Structure 1
């Protein structure tokens, strides 16, 4: 039995230790945001956050997840109340087929949670592991910049000033 917290909810999962986290999320917990793309950790469609790091869930075995917190795209917001990253991707019409978008959002979320003031070069380098076969990269980058602006504004409004 492996204990993990997914989108703030504790779960006990009874699966083989080498089961990929992606399969647990989709098959055991019914969270279908993370997608099966290549199964080799080469496309990023399966990206989720473990703690504050972007992780390729198709190559992450359940064994290493005990006690860890996982965030999937479903944990960023809801249809009624999308989070800043989701709002930005919607506003920029960043999805064409949409298959890569949950992974793109999660990788970008991990980056912007650490520092919403990152440069375009840093965004591009950080997003490199995630592939979009439809070619909407420019809209995806625009959405990430929009989300960064929103997160910076929210951070400044919530704390008055940033220290650190």
Structure 2
């Protein structure tokens, strides 16, 4: 866990060409995830959407960021990605503009998030698609690697502890 109280105020591009911050989605919990449509982990969309439906009214917002940096597994346009997410997985949570999560041109939000250590004490580069960052209302950031499913008890515990009853 890292304390990044200002991470909620870092701007990013939305799918419609506008600008938002995590604070734009309220003062609850944000679950930030880099997504891809052609990845073996893509079925995690179903679990992400279930979290949004289960905890959305209590203040959780899943926030997706399409990323094509891992073997070109998110090649489409933003419009194609939004259509795929809606028609294939019934996604209702915000999916934003495509970004870079590693290397040159890394989105500022991910520059900040990557300073957070995972459960093994490792910070740094995003390993693959569907790496998850749970940001609490107080700015604490918890990092979960791609193979940790969105419905993993550790993620649920952070969400439950951080939302009002």
User: Would you say same fold, with TM above 0.5?
Assistant: no
Pick the structure with more helix per residue: 1
Q: Return the structure number with greater relative CO, CA threshold 8 A, min gap 6.
A: 2
Structure with the higher fraction of residues in strand conformation: 2
Q: Indicate the structure (1 or 2) with the bigger Cα radius of gyration.
A: 1
Q: TM-score, normalised by structure 1?
A: 0.29
